[in-house]
Amino acid sequence: MRSPVIDNLQYVNWSEIAFRQLRQGGVDAIHVTIAYHESFRGAVLNVSQWNRWFEQYPDLIMRGVSGDCVRKAIETNRTAVFFGFQNPSPIEDDIGLIEVWHQLGVRFMQLTYNNQSLLATGCYEDDDTGLTRFGRQAVDEMNRVGMVVDMSHSGDRSTLEAIEHSSRPIAITHANPKWWHSALRNKSDEVLCALTDAGGMLGFSMYPHHLKDGSDCTLDSFCDMIAEAASRYGADNLGIGSDLCQDQPDSVVTWMRNGRWSKQMDYGEGSAAQAGFPTQPDWFTDNRDMPNIGTGLLKAGFSQPEVDGIMGGNWLRFYDSSFGGET
């Protein structure tokens, strides 16, 4: 089997066109967001929508629940779709729903999305108090059933405590190093050292607010950053988590950042003049551009096996070890 291409975080406004672009770009697996602030019921409706898409486009996409699904997708020229939450709101205040959601196919859950949650502290809060009592027990339950702890939008203390408390490696599915670009959502060297030392995975984001020079970031700059990250943390725990938000209306940004909790517009890391989605860099506008990343990594000095790992092989290894229940 050839090495897979995996993008471990996308929030595309899905359509037949977007599904065909996945195939044109040779993307074998994606992790998709099925909840930002939804309740249990709201997230179930999103699963229902995906079930309809799986029925409508069986030649393009398939449901993903294990590493073997990626292998089947490669064999059948399709894209395996893995579900994840960017917020723990779909488990509400019920720890038993973690196992239910795993049974429904969810394989990643962020403990926070920017704000304080019942589980941990988001990266936009002034005071990071770390994992809560519920949070520690939720991590234990996620470890037990085979759901990955994702700390992409969490504060440093909460992230470090999750790494330490989890019996399995965790993930930061979509972020970049703060030493490259000081965006609030990017991660400190301390966090990334702890993450990778514990066997966790970092997915590099192509969302412009996470990039040095924003929408004008060059492919060379992005790939040189990955090369520096590999020199610090090793290449084996690095992958792609593009955070691609293709074709989403700007109104979705309000939902992502505000949910129902705020009357004030939270502009996040953009300014008031950038309230909508920023323009993607010209080297990654949609999934058809995925091969550009591999080409850029080779130019940055990576070997072909290292490129194969960063483009998807490392995520597949992580899937194989993370998605099964404890024995």
Give the model's pLDDT for residue 272: 38
**Higher-confidence residue: 182 or 254?**
182
- Give the pLDDT mean for 2-26: 97
Q: What is the pLDDT of residues 273-317, one digit of tens each?
A: 356 788 999 999 999 999 999 999 999 999 999 999 999 999 999
pLDDT range class, residue 271, cuts 50, 70, 90: very low
Answer yes or no: is pLDDT of 259 > 80.
Answer: no
Query: Is the Cα torsion angle 93, 96, 37, 317 positive or negative in sign?
Result: positive
3-class secondary structure, 99 = helix
How many CA atoms are closer than 13 Å to the CA of 301, on its beta-carbon side? 11
Give the model's pLDDT for residue 207: 95
- Give the pLDDT mean for 18-34: 98
pLDDT range class, residue 265, cuts 50, 70, 90: low
pLDDT range class, residue 213, cuts 50, 70, 90: very high
pLDDT averaged over every residue in the chain: 94
Answer yes or no: is pLDDT of 235 > 90.
Answer: yes
- Give the pLDDT mean for 220-240: 98
Answer yes or no: is pLDDT of 327 > 60.
Answer: no
pLDDT range class, residue 251, cuts 50, 70, 90: low
Closest CA to 12 of 206, 202, 149, 203: 206
Question: What contacts 45, CB < 8 A, 6 or more positions away?
Answer: 38
Give residue limits of the domains in the chain: 6-322
Calpha distance 294→291 (Å, rounded): 5
- Give the pLDDT mean for 248-270: 65
Give the model's pLDDT for residue 273: 39
Q: Which helix (H) or strand (E) element contains residue 134?
A: helix 133-145
Answer yes or no: is pLDDT of 267 > 80.
Answer: no
Report the Cα 190 to chain-centroid distance in Å: 20
- What are the beta bridge partners of residue 109? 85, 149
Question: pTM for this structure?
Answer: 0.94
pLDDT range class, residue 250, cuts 50, 70, 90: low
Give the model's pLDDT for residue 268: 56
Closest CA to 164 of 191, 146, 184: 191
Q: What is the pLDDT of residues 120-146, one digit of tens each?
A: 999 999 999 999 999 999 999 999 999
- Give the pLDDT mean for 25-29: 98
Calpha distance 240→272 (Å, rounded): 29
Give the model's pLDDT for residue 277: 83
Cβ-based neighbour number of residue 170 at 10 Å? 27
The Cα-based distances of 281 to 33, 177, 226, 270 in angstroms read 22, 18, 17, 16
Answer yes or no: is pLDDT of 270 > 50.
Answer: no
Calpha distance 267→150 (Å, rounded): 23
Answer yes or no: is pLDDT of 204 > 80.
Answer: yes
Tokens 């037949």 found at:
16
- Give the pLDDT mean for 321-325: 93
Report the Cα 2 to chain-centroid distance in Å: 23
Give the model's pLDDT for residue 325: 82
Give the model's pLDDT for residue 216: 97
Give the model's pLDDT for residue 309: 98
Listing DSSP states for 241-280 in one string gives: ---B-TT--THHHHHHHHTTT-SS---TTS-GGG-SPPPP
Query: Is the Cα torsion angle 31, 244, 124, 170 positive or negative in sign?
Result: positive
6-322: CATH superfamily: Metal-dependent hydrolases (3.20.20.140)
